[in-house]
Amino acid sequence: MRSILCYLLFAIGGTVTYVCAEEKEQIGSDTLENILFVDDFDAKCIVPDTAIWKLCTYANNAWSQYFRGVDGYENVKVEEGYLKLRACKDNGTYKNGGVFSKIGFPCGTRLEVKARLTKLVRGGFPAIWQMPIGAPEWPRGGEIDLMEWVQGSPKQIFQTVHTFYINGENGSAGVTNKEADKNFDVTKDHVYAVQRTEKELIFYVDGKETWKYENQHLDKEKLQYPFCEYPFNIILNFSLGGELNGMMTWPGEIHDEDLPGEMWVDWVRVVLLDNNKINE
């Protein structure tokens, strides 16, 4: 892609949203009128646009425990037209790399991310996912995982949904594609996508539908489908698993000999689906 133009369009739930698009062009099969957001990381700056992206920070959980001690953008950089997210061991300290969008996107949109891993890192936990902005405590507002990879299934990626209806108060396992490709090469470029509407979430890889999670229209308090209640942001990270609070995490034991590892993100875009209008 060429460099992009960005301009303020509207606010969703108090969250500033931008349109970024290539000048005088269509992007894929979608016209500029359909594009809510694009970042192709072709800017000259060596860090992602700070008006849009913010660094992930430490928390006591499997994916973010190793953001502790990360010095600014040391594991996040824009280079050669990619956003490069790095996980490493530095002077005995494990460190993640990751960003999340300050921007939230509404229901009636499709998120697409083109990315690849530079290599497989045992104990690595790279992911492309979305979380709600302004929602109650997880998992009441839901979670959408477009791509997760772990060493236990090295030739498979997981596209997963979490809700309170699925997880309950303390559960961690969501529902995922039961017929996922078991011979998948995550080190190749792929476009991971999810379409979010009042009816369902539809997941894709390289334009092919992989599975869907449907709105069962249950009583609202069951929190089975909270995916149109809030704007959802975008999270891109290459994290490390290992032990947490004395217990092994889902990504498994970290193999130092595999480090460092990187996820390269070519571009991110959000498309407004047909028949969906945003009140400006």
- Residue-level pLDDT at 43: 84
Query: What confidence tens digit (pLDDT) does each residue in 123-182 have?
Result: 999 999 999 999 999 999 999 999 999 999 999 999 999 999 999 887 788 999 988 899
Mean pLDDT, the chain, integer: 89
List the domain boundaries for the chain.
33-270
Q: Which residues of 103-133 are buried (b: 16+ CB within 10 A; e: fewer)?
A: bbbbbbbbbbbbbbbeebbbbbbbbbbbbbb
Structure letter (DSSP) for residue 105 = B
Other Cβ atoms closer than 10 A to 57: 12
The closest alpha carbon to 234, from 129, 98, 93, 155, belongs to: 129
- Residue-level pLDDT at 22: 42
Rounded to a whole number of angstroms, the CA Rg of the chain reads 18
Percent pLDDT > 90 in the chain is: 80
Average pLDDT, integer, range 241-258: 96
Its CATH architecture, for the domain 33-270, is Sandwich (2.60)
Q: Give every CB contact of residue 183 below 8 A, 6+ residues apart in sequence.
A: 155
Alpha-helical segments (H) within the chain: 164-167
